[in-house]
Amino acid sequence: MKIGIITILKVNNYGAELQAYATQAVLKKLGYDAEIIDYLFYKNPGYKRTKMSSPVFHFSLVLRLKEWLYPKMTTLKTLNNRKAQKVRERRFANFHKENTSLSPTYRSMDELYSARLPYDVYLTGSDQVWNPGLYSSLNPYFLTFAPQGKKRIAYAASFGVSQIPTYAKPYYRERLRQYDAIGVREREAVDMVKAVAGREAEWVLDPTLLLTKVDWLKVARQPKTSINGKYILIYELTRCPYIGQLARHIHAAKGLQMVRICKRACREDKECDIINITDAGPSEFLHLVANAGLVITNSFHGTAFSINFGRDFYTVLPLRKKNNSRQRSLLQMFGLSERLLVEGTAWEDIPNTGIDYSEVGKCLDRERNKSIQFLKDAIDGE
């Protein structure tokens, strides 16, 4: 049985690349012939926009300008660090070349929809594939390109929002009703699917948590940057000065050196007391999390990998970030809600004891087995 997976990848983001790899790796472990349909995400520089890929929903002029400016600003920020950028890009590309099963590349929606695809089962993978804020057509991520009569499954798909806008509900209702089985990444998404489409959905683990620590260490790689002893690892997706302040507070108390894994190939700290790693690929990211004494992050996948590797961590919620359901949902599942800090939390209110992973590990094993069973039932069931 051949399974084709569509998800977000090749976007220079650690979480996106690793969740994509994990989905097909898990399916292969289960004995299926699985590969990722290499449909470029619209933010990839090689993506070709066409009339077919126009956004499903209307975007204001301000939002359209932001979408136009964002890649240009990103390029400008890395101009002074081209060497690190090239190393980083090579490491991201090599990660998939060495580890991920990919189809031929489809650079436009037109190419994808005109292809003769060989799959028996079509699977929407994880990440924010159903986010109404994506400035491109959502149709590929709802598998509208799949031939009639083929099984359609969603695994750990995310809406990326806490509620679906009223104007978008008819679209989501029609698309969700085409699935044979739906697994979602956040607890509240179960209710969203029910409310919008009248369908049952199952709350499942992010695919990165379906692979064990041992599985991940097989594809981890030590970065060339010299780091001595245990360290505080900082990983931010949304800029949050409080995270740096918290790291320095703990550094002063415990003497751990501070290391930042940068989300782009440019230094994020002007001060010299934090080691900035600007050229890490997904493999180096894994090593850095696995060997950290403490992780401080506001990233969902930064949190997920901290749990999977059994690291002490704090997940910080920036005040200006409205949708925090991903982190809240994940930590609630494992009974770790006390590790969730709202930006500005006073030092004396921060838990200063390590995490007891004995119960967390049992919960992870239990939820992993449930999620894997969901996949098996969805694929093999009538």
Q: Are residues 15 and 137 in the same domain?
A: yes
Cα–Cα distance between 256 and 292 in angstroms, integer?
10
Query: pLDDT digits over 170-201, tens only?
Result: 999 999 999 999 999 999 999 999 999 999 99
Please determine, for residue 147, whether its predicted confidence score (pLDDT) is greater than 90: yes
Which stretches of 7-60 are DSSP H helices? 14-29
Q: Are residues 86 and 235 in the same domain?
A: no
- Tell me what the mean pLDDT of segment 244-256 comes to: 94
User: Are 155 and 105 contained in the same domain?
Assistant: yes
> For position 266, what pLDDT does the model report?
80
- Residue among 239, 244, 311 at smallest CA distance from 274: 244
* Structural domain count, the chain: 2
Provide the CATH number for the domain around residue 258.
Answer: 3.40.50.2000
Examine the domain organization and report whether 195 and 289 are in the same domain: no
Instruction: Give yes or no: residues 184 and 201 share one domain.
Output: yes
- Of 176, 38, 46, 154, the C-alpha closest to 103 is 38
pLDDT of residue 297: 97
Structural domain boundaries enclosing 326: 221-356
Q: Could you tell me how many residues make up the chain? A: 382
pLDDT digits (tens, 9 = 90+) for 262-291: 988 788 887 789 999 999 999 999 999 999
Interacting residues of 9 by C-beta distance below 8 A, sequence separation 6+: 16, 17, 20, 36, 38, 41, 96
The CATH number given to whatever domain includes residue 82 is: 3.40.50
Neighbours of 369 (CB within 10 A): 12
Q: Which runs of consecutive H residues, i.e. helices, occur in the chain?
A: 14-29, 61-77, 82-99, 109-114, 169-176, 187-197, 213-217, 241-254, 282-290, 300-308, 325-333, 357-380
Distance, first Cα to last Cα, the chain: 14
172 shares its domain with 236: no
pLDDT of the residue at 60: 82
Together in a domain, 48 and 146: yes
Task: Looking at the structure, tell me whether residues 297 and 188 fall in a common domain.
Answer: no
Q: Which of 276, 272, 303, 306 is nearest to 289 (CA)?
A: 306
Residues 54 and 177 in one domain: yes
- Do the domain assignments include residue 361? no
Say if residue 144 is in the same domain as residue 236: no
Residue type, 88: R
pLDDT tens for 300-356 read 999 999 999 999 999 999 887 666 778 998 999 999 999 999 999 999 999 988 999
How much is the average pLDDT of 25-29? 98
Same domain? 32 vs 124: yes
Beta bridge partners of 155: none
Q: What is the pLDDT of residues 92-105, one digit of tens each?
A: 999 999 999 999 99
Say if residue 195 is in the same domain as residue 305: no
* Tokens describing residue 176: 């969700």
Q: pTM of the entire structure? A: 0.94
Strand-pairing partners, residue 208, are: none
Nearest CA among 276, 229, 296 for reference residue 256:
229
Split at pLDDT 50, 70, 90, the class of 25 is: very high
| Residue 260 amino acid letter | R
Average pLDDT over residues 55-60: 89
- Whether residue 61 lies inside any domain: the answer is yes
> Cβ(176)–Cβ(300) under 8 Å?
no
Give the chain's mean pLDDT: 93
| Residues contacting residue 57 through CB under 8 Å, at least 6 positions apart | 132, 165, 167, 168, 171
